Amino acid sequence: MSLVLRNAQSAVPVRRAPLRRAVCALRAALGASRFDVGLVCAGNALMQRLNGAYRRCPEPTDVLSFPFHQVAAGELPLPRWRDEYNLGDIFLGVEYIHQQCRETGEDFDDVLTVTAAHGLCHLLGYRHDTKPEWEQMYQKEAQILEELNRLTGSRLRPLTAGLF
C-alpha cells in the first residue's frame, strides 16, 4: 500500500526519494507491503517532546515507533477492514542521527535507512528490552537489511549490534 513520508524539520536536508525506496524494500522484506506506514523526519525538539510524553525520557532520540496494531514479534496484523491495513508511524530523529553521524563519521543516509529498518521492526512487535528479545530483533533487522543490501549493493548492518 502506501508510505507517507513527511519531513517535519528543516535542520538537516533529507534525501526523501532514496529513503522512500529503501523503506518500501524493507517493508517488502518483512512481508508487509500491503500495509500503510507513516514516516516522519523530525528534529530534536519534536523527538524530545514525543520521547518525554510516551517514554518518560525527555531527551531527543533516533527513532520512535507507534504501532497501529499490537502483535507478537514477527506477526503480521490481521485487519478486518481496509482502514486497518496500517502498521503505524515511525518518527526518525534526523537531527539527532545527523549529530551522531558527524561524531562517528558514519554515512547519514545509511544510518537513516538502518534506523528506519529498526523502527519497522518495532511496528511488527520486535523489542530489545531483554537479551532474548534483542537477539530476535537483531536477527530480523539483519535479515531485512541483507535483502536490501542484495537489491542495492549496499552493506548495511543493524543498529542494535552492541546493545547486549
pLDDT digits (tens, 9 = 90+) for 67-112: 999 999 989 999 999 999 999 999 999 999 999 999 999 999 999 9
**Mean pLDDT in the chain?**
95
Which runs of consecutive H residues, i.e. helices, occur in 11-162?
A: 16-29, 44-55, 94-104, 108-123, 131-152
In a 3-state reduction of DSSP, which class is residue 60? coil
Pair 145, 111: CB distance under 8 Å: no
User: What CA–CA distance (Å, rounded) separates 160 from 164?
Assistant: 8
User: Order of strands, edge to edge, in the sheet holding 63-67?
Assistant: 3-7, 36-42, 86-93, 63-67
Domains of the chain as residue ranges with CATH: 3-152 (3.40.390.30)
pLDDT digits (tens, 9 = 90+) for 143-154: 999 999 999 999
- CB neighbours of residue 45 within 10 Å: 12
pLDDT score at 164 = 62
pLDDT digits (tens, 9 = 90+) for 9-65: 999 999 999 999 999 999 999 999 999 999 999 999 999 999 999 999 999 999 999
